[in-house]
Amino acid sequence: MKRILVTGGAGFLGSHLCDKLLAEGNEVLCVDNFYTGRKSNIHHLMDNKNFEFLRHDITFPLYAEVDEIYNLACPASPVHYQFDPVQTTKTSVLGAINMLGLAKRLKIKILQASTSEVYGDPEVHPQPESYKGSVSTTGIRACYDEGKRCAETLFFDYHRQHGVDIKVMRIFNTYGPRMNPNDGRVVSNFIVQALKGEDITIFGDGSQTRSFCYVDDNIEGMYSLMNSRDGFTGPVNIGNPGEFTMLQLAELVIKMTGSTSKMRFSPLPQDDPLQRQPVIDLAKKELGWEPKVDLTSGLEKTIFYFRELID
């Protein structure tokens, strides 16, 4: 049994990770400040004797005795990270420094949940880990994009300078139960609008693409990376290489919900990437991982979750 720290553990991904780690027989210390995490995501774990919750902001130092760290703390949707962009950058940068410092002191392994947003609006498609990215340092998304890029830099510098055992994953669009219905992400937006019979908001002409990974696949990839061979640091893309336009996603959601919603087109937000698709050859080779849940199957489970939530 390991004692494992999960920062951002009450969030969408963090709560599913806590489920996984507990199911594998570990003790979990879940840390969250509830900026975007929710108590309802971890309510079912509160009576588990191997689960402990601590309300804490990782921009401040944390002192704990643990065997591994998964660093997931950071608002991940544009609505939330642009609300307080300075704090978003602090969470990525100061949070990384504090968690890396803890890992250095304890001489333990630490995983960073990075993002496909480090690639920016890519000039290379699809995106392999070797692509350096095309990111605006002054745009409204930079607080998240550049914060995560700086966090990756810190992870590799701590690895080289202090010998910290690191794992870095780049997460592509992930969806599933426990998404916040008001987080502004495309899957939750489309499903909630369709279930309510509201117009579905399409930004731009709807031709921009995303690749959608179901949450269970994401967590399996994350767990596999943490337990991968010694010396393998990543970064490694974790995502579903299936690529869909926003129009295709909207049409599929309308069909699956039986909604009468119509599509409403709005201007494309500043610096919004036009393409996003992972190359996952490295994940297949090093982790033996690839996604198993297709978009239709994943949407069925996600729609069921949101239907119950709205009802």
Over residues 231-248, the pLDDT tens digits come to 999 999 999 999 999 999
The two structure tokens encoding residue 286: 């090093």
Read off the pTM.
0.96
Q: Which of 49-63, 66-80, 98-112, 239-253 has the lowest mean pLDDT?
A: 66-80
pLDDT at 11: 97
pLDDT at 183: 86
Q: Distance between CA 22 and CA 25 in Å, rounded?
A: 5
Burial class of residue 246, CB neighbours in 10 A (0-12, 13-18, 19+): buried
Whether residue 214 lies in the annotated active site: no
Other CB atoms within 10 Å distance of the CB of residue 145: 25
Mean pLDDT of 211-226: 98
pLDDT at 24: 98
All structural domains of the chain, each given as residue ranges with its CATH number in brackets, are 3-172+214-239+278-285 (3.40.50.720)
The two structure tokens encoding residue 304: 């069921």
| pLDDT more than 90, % of the chain | 92
pLDDT at 295: 97
Mean pLDDT of 175-186: 92
Helix (H, G, I), strand (E, B) or coil at 141: coil
Q: Which of 35, 70, 144, 223 is catalytic?
A: 144
| pLDDT more than 70, % of the chain | 100
pLDDT at 184: 84
Q: Distance between CA 265 and CA 165 in Å, rounded?
A: 46
